[in-house]
Amino acid sequence: MSELPVPPEDLRVSDADRRRVQERLRRAHESGELDLGEFDERVGAAWAARTRADLVRTTSDLPEPEAAPAPKPGGRVFSDSGGGVAMRVLTIIWACLSAVALTSWGIVALSTDGDVDPWWLWVAGPPAAVLLVLYVAGIGRPPRL
């Protein structure tokens, strides 16, 4: 006895399918097509979905998403991963501290009549070396295209 084929809409869905629908719902929420309550409700329905038909119902009234622009090669210094975010934050902190140290040194150098040791390099240099080593090691770097 042969089994009847399962209609495509009755096929089971995977977590990857649910994640794709969740991402589409997130983009719809960001563009204002869904309010927060409806977004939350639909994401819950997507994760409770068992079949393709269940997933289609969560997005059937939304317009087709526009294609995302392809990333430009060499356009990003840090990736969007956790390591990239950490490196971006640490680099901003380093830049701020270095700017404050350089400004302070400049004020002292201009307001005194003698030579002033460039002590600000000791504030900026070691953290810059650490950030450089982390970046060279691949922490937070975007993948090469």
Domain extent listing, the chain = 8-59, 82-136
Task: Name the phi and psi angles at 94, rounded to 5.
Answer: -60, -45
pLDDT score of 107: 92
- Of residues 62 and 145, more confidently modeled: 62
pLDDT score of 101: 95
Please say if the pLDDT value at position 20 is more than 70: yes
Query: How far apart are alpha carbons 14 and 47 in whole angstroms?
Result: 10
Segments in the chain forming alpha helices (H): 15-30, 36-48, 52-59, 82-111, 120-136
131 Cβ contact partners less than 8 Å away, ≥ 6 residues apart? 87, 90, 91, 94
Residue type, 33: E
Question: Helix or strand or coil: residue 51?
Answer: strand
